Amino acid sequence: MDDEWLRSVDNHILSRGGPNFPELLERIPRPPDRLYVKGDPDLLHMPALAIVGSRNPTEAGRRTAYEFARHLGAAGFCIVSGLAEGIDTAAHRGALDAGAATVAFLGHGIDRVYPSSNLDLAHEIAANGALATEFPLGTHPDKSHFPQRNRLISGMSLGTLVVEAARRSGSLITARLAGEQGREVFAVPGSIHNPLARGCHKLIRQGAKLVETAEDIVAEIAPLCTHLLQTSLESTTKEELPEHDDEEYRHLRKHLGHDPVSVDELAENSGLTIDQVSSMLLILELEGIVESQSGGRYSLLAR
């Protein structure tokens, strides 16, 4: 079966100890004996960051994952995740929309797609990035496979970012594995009223680095891979990414100044919902237009 599958130029099998096997995966406990890869195997040698989180995120969480992936991908990182619904999907999509590299590790054979709702996304990743798995062809998705898959997501990555995770979540397993593998762990904080923020808050209490912007991650990771990065986040955000011009962003910016203002005040003054304001502020912060202050308040950055 493997021989027939390998006839496609896009299909590859990488064996541990071989010249094309990812170096970081060689170093983890219980490295896989082989990897089935559909797409570009060279992407498994890029400096990578994992983005994981809830399969049922809030809209703000989904947007957060998308924007972090888009900015980090544009800064030269390969975005790694697990093709699950929710945060994983948003992370892969953010990388693809930035024209950046993305790798999806699967908990089943590479000749299958799970969940089926991500069939089109899987095809797009295979065409522009890579799908990878240690499970042989024909292996069905199984609950026990996904924690095993998670060690590869964290193991290939210099750091793992968790965006929205409940206290009992597969994403926390990935974060724990990242720590055990000597990788960085990052978490995005959220509202104390959001159950999906509790896993991230738990990680932060345990020593994960609290991040508010993509630059927070680059500052930690860049020294580990300076020679591999294609560009810096600063040049990406200041030169390549234009400020938002759509009407809602212009309307919100009318209510922002150099004096800090809370999300609730911005929502009340602008007539936008709190979720809309939170999502838009994140994007503006990632692009260096606003900065967060103590007490959950925001102000315009001096340009």
Separation in Å, CA 245 to CA 99, 116, 249, 253: 21, 36, 7, 11
Q: What is the pLDDT of residue 238?
A: 39
Q: What is the pLDDT of residue 107?
A: 96
Answer for the pair 145, 108: CB distance below 8 angstroms, yes or no: yes
For residue 39, give the 3-state DSSP assignment. strand
CA-to-CA distance for 303 and 107, rounded, in angstroms?
46
Among 75, 174, 69, 177, smallest CA distance to 125 is for 69
Answer for the pair 241, 252: CB distance below 8 angstroms, yes or no: no
Placement of tokens 């390549």 in the chain:
240
CATH 1.10.10.10 occupies which residues in the chain? 242-300
| CATH entry 3.40.50.450 includes domain 2-225 | yes
Burial class (CB in 10 A: 0-12, 13-18, 19+), 119: exposed
CATH 3.40.50.450 occupies which residues in the chain? 2-225
Q: What is the pLDDT of residue 172?
A: 92
Q: For residue 49, which phi and psi values (nearest 5 degrees)?
A: -130, 135
Regions of the chain where pLDDT drops below 70: 223-246, 275, 279, 282, 286-287, 295, 302-303
For residue 61, give the 3-state DSSP assignment. helix
10-23 pLDDT tens trace: 999 999 999 899 98
Q: Give the Cβ contact number of residue 9 at 10 Å.
A: 6
Residue type, 185: V
| CATH entry 3.40.50.720 includes domain 242-300 | no
Answer for the pair 133, 109: CB distance below 8 angstroms, yes or no: yes
Q: What is the pLDDT of residue 300?
A: 85
